[in-house]
Structure 1
């Protein structure tokens, strides 16, 4: 396979030990070792990879880097066969790598990819595709989406104090606990509990209409440490977006939190009107606030609506 590596020197782990990796990887790969400094530079370099016939792109970074590369590949390779992807976990959050990426990182992982890619496991997955009505913005690909209370809590979960002391693979747990922990502060409690106006629908059927405390959606099939705040999984992981919607002022919130962080959904939770979870091919979310896609805060747009569906199928190589 013709291989190229996209290295993000600004990701959390690469800031700590990425210089030595970059020096050796650039010697091994030559012009196939890339360090784009901007989105425009990333687009130009991916266009070059397509011209060269590269069919395996290794991503050394976190969730935000993976999302940017998937989105760029999606647009640049439109109408052509997509290259395989391999993810080395080196970011602030590595939820994507935890599901479809490498366990090992660094030169050992890169050596496997160079010497024997045929011995690796191939996993097929369709990421989330976020788009806007009337093509207000270019569509984006990612794996983990959150809005309303999640968008508030992401600022807490991504604060230097949390990132310094919390393991990267507990990002979802830290964010959820941040959302619920914010209720301990009197000044926040009322506004957070009251939520944000939101309408969630699928195929013209309304799932939720009212004030929303927290909304999550993902194309991942696995989170570390048994955390899984969703239920009703699809038979085929290529044909569904998992979602969780929690109404404003939710009852039994503490019990629900501990159940979901342990990957459990007891009968009372599945039947409770304040908690809605499912799996759908497409979702329409109408809410005025920003949302978060793989750690990046993105505006919902002037029409407040975003469309959540499935992007093209990628093949991820894993060790």
Structure 2
């Protein structure tokens, strides 16, 4: 096994975790380490790792960098065989790593494992492949959302992350604000400062129409849990992608909030909500969508097509 470590020092608003890891790995002469000083150098860094025979790729970053790396690995064939991936949660948002990332949080512990990666838990997970964003570039991530999902992510990044509120606390603050507004004020579809507003969405699951008209949100993911450990899907994981839609107006939150985001696969969903396990999906909407914290425009005059991407192996511990 040959370890390669790709560090985005700007992740986490420059929190220093990646740089500290690079310092801890200085004495490991057999470990390939690359600090990504500019994002345009990402493909070259991966090609260098492939040429060096890297089999275990450690990524020190947040969700956005992971998505970019997965896309390059899936679409370019840089590696003759896909390397195992180990996600180190060093970014502002680490939803992917919270589900399939390395469980040791200390920099010293991470450095020790990278030097001798004797993995005890490796899990395979497919990507969510966005086939036709408006810019024509295929992308591979682990979470795709639109409607309130993208609006809430945009608010969290601009109004909270950019002001120093990070991680789960920022997500909780955004969610708590949205829920309290829904609880204590009437629905107002014309208030564009609210997340709980109607978005035009037409959603198909494996070709079957499952939602049309105005809805709160649609999401597609191959993760088993999302931010704050939420699981807004049910009905059994019979396919690689969990596809969920929520209606607008939002059902009674006093009754349905917790069942909507937590619980077992056999729980009763909120009225009008739907969850499917699929291999392909499509979402027709004019609203921007988010993939792992990065925003993209919906295609013009056709639905966004979603497919099951390749399976990667993720080192958990």
- TM-score by structure 1 length? 0.85
CA pair 79-4 structure 1, distance change in 2 beyond 3 A: closer
Q: Secondary structure at the match of 1:49?
A: helix
Q: Which runs of 5+ in 1 are unaligned?
A: none
State the distance in 2 between where 1:111 and 1:160 align.
Answer: 37
The CA deviation at 1:88 is 0.8
Equivalences, count? 312
The CA deviation at 1:204 is 2.7
1:219 aligns with 2:222: yes
Structure 1 runs of 4+ aligned residues shifted over 6 Å read 162-167, 184-188
Tell me if structure 2 keeps the 8 A contact 1:46–1:76.
no
Tell me if structure 1 keeps the 8 A contact 2:18–2:60.
no
> Matches of residues 189-200 of structure 1 in structure 2 within 5 Å?
189-191=188-190, 194-200=197-203
The CA deviation at 1:305 is 2.1
Tell me if structure 2 keeps the 8 A contact 1:146–1:293.
yes
Give the number of the structure whose residues are more often helix, by fraction.
Answer: 1
Q: Which residue of 1 aligns with 2:149?
A: 150
Q: Indicate the RMSD between aligned Cα atoms, in angstroms.
A: 3.0
1:158-213 deviation digits (Å, cap 9, x = unpaired): 24546878672467655544554554797993235551211101233101110111
1:239-266 deviation digits (Å, cap 9, x = unpaired): 4211221122133244322223433577
Q: Which residue of 1 aligns with 2:81?
A: 81
Q: Which residue of 2 aligns with 1:114?
A: 115
Tell me if structure 2 keeps the 8 A contact 1:4–1:56.
yes
CA pair 147-223 structure 1, distance change in 2 beyond 3 A: closer
Tell me if structure 2 keeps the 8 A contact 1:166–1:174.
no
1:141 aligns with 2:140: yes
Q: Secondary structure at the match of 2:25?
A: helix
The CA deviation at 1:121 is 1.3
State the distance in 2 between where 1:220 and 1:170 align.
Answer: 21
Q: Which residue of 1 aligns with 2:247?
A: 247
The CA deviation at 1:41 is 0.7
Tell me if structure 2 keeps the 8 A contact 1:85–1:315.
yes
CA pair 224-39 structure 1, distance change in 2 beyond 3 A: closer
The CA deviation at 1:318 is 1.4
